[in-house]
Structure 1
Amino acid sequence: MRPPNRTFCPKNLTKIHAFQRLTPGHARIKSVTYIISNLEARLNTTLRLGEHYICDLSGCSNEILLDSERSYALFSGAVRESGLTVVDEGFYKFSPHGFTCFLLLAESHASLHAWPEYGYCAIDLFTCNLGMDLTPLLDTIKAAFGAKSYTVRLIDRDAAFQAATRPVVHEISL
């Protein structure tokens, strides 16, 4: 008995099981199993690593925003009271007014960028503590700065990766 003609094999397949034993009277092969040699099945998945809150505060108190030290104290105090862990911090004051401050957190980071002349603050909160809702913290900051309105965008920070690979095996019935 001889194996089937190679023309039955697609170009990207390598034969691993040639044929079932044929008995007299069978005119064709019943099934052939192939393994794809140049392709692999990959378990593509994503891992949620953090949540990124992007907040725009409008109509903030000019009096508060013009006092950069007070603004910084309000912001850092609210972040600390929320239960986030501050490990480092930075502050930069622009001339004639405006400032940027950041808090490096064990959970990631928090930053505030202020434009007193527009009554506007941009706040960025990124946390890897997925069980912690930062909405109450943002509400506290909104109230502290006297914002008339604010918008919040929540972005899930995900990492795509291939968890496992294995050869793809197909059985082809002929």
Structure 2
Amino acid sequence: MIKLKQLGRHILIEYYDCDRKVLENSSLIEKYMLSAAKLAKATIVESVFHTFNPWGISGVVVIEESHLTIHTWPEYKYAAVDLFTCGNTIKPWTAFEFLEEKLSAKRTDITEIPRGVMDCIFKNQETFENS
């Protein structure tokens, strides 16, 4: 039996110097986010995208393994993306690379956060049970 160290991974991505035309195109952003989820081998449940006036998009792709979100600021050629995946069958880095290419990002900043770290979960359960 494989012992899990964490339940999920949360990758926070800053995409800079992106193609402004892409960042303001809601149907294209949704298409790219759904494709990113599929390429990552995620199981898509639902997607919701909203376009702001005069520009900018927020969207989420709910997957059985958690979610992928995007927020765009075309006026700054910037997008913020969260890839939160659970289990070890999903490939969030594949989604990252795909989106980097499709948004034409010239640079990125990335932070990966382990979610549901098992040592912390069990420590908290023991504390709760002993109180």
Shorter-chain-normalised TM-score: which range? 0.7 to 0.9
Q: Is residue 160 of structure 1 aligned with residue 118 of structure 2?
A: no
Provide the residue aligned with 2:26 in structure 1: 68
Structure 1, unpaired ranges of 5+: 1-45, 166-174
Structure 1 counterpart SS, 2:48: strand
Kindly indicate whether the alpha-carbon contact (under 8 Å) linking 1:47 and 1:160 is maintained by their aligned counterparts in 2. no
Highest Rg: 1 or 2?
1
Provide the residue aligned with 2:54 in structure 1: 96
Kindly indicate whether the alpha-carbon contact (under 8 Å) linking 1:51 and 1:130 is maintained by their aligned counterparts in 2. no
Kindly indicate whether the alpha-carbon contact (under 8 Å) linking 1:62 and 1:117 is maintained by their aligned counterparts in 2. yes
Structure 2 counterpart SS, 1:160: helix
Q: What is the TM-score with the length of structure 2 in the denominator?
A: 0.82
Structure 2, unpaired ranges of 5+: none
Structure having the higher strand fraction is 1
Structure 2 counterpart SS, 1:161: helix
State the aligned residue count: 120
Structure having the higher helix fraction is 2
Cα RMSD, aligned residues only:
2.0
Superposed CA deviations along residues 131-161 of structure 1, whole A, max 9, x for unmatched, are 4442121011000010000111110012422
Kindly indicate whether the alpha-carbon contact (under 8 Å) linking 1:112 and 1:121 is maintained by their aligned counterparts in 2. yes
Distance in 1 (alpha carbons) for counterparts of 2:34 and 2:56: 17
Q: CA deviation at 1:82?
A: 2.2
Q: What is the TM-score with the length of structure 1 in the denominator?
A: 0.63
Range that drifts further, 70-79 or 117-126: 70-79
Q: Is residue 108 of structure 1 aligned with residue 66 of structure 2?
A: yes
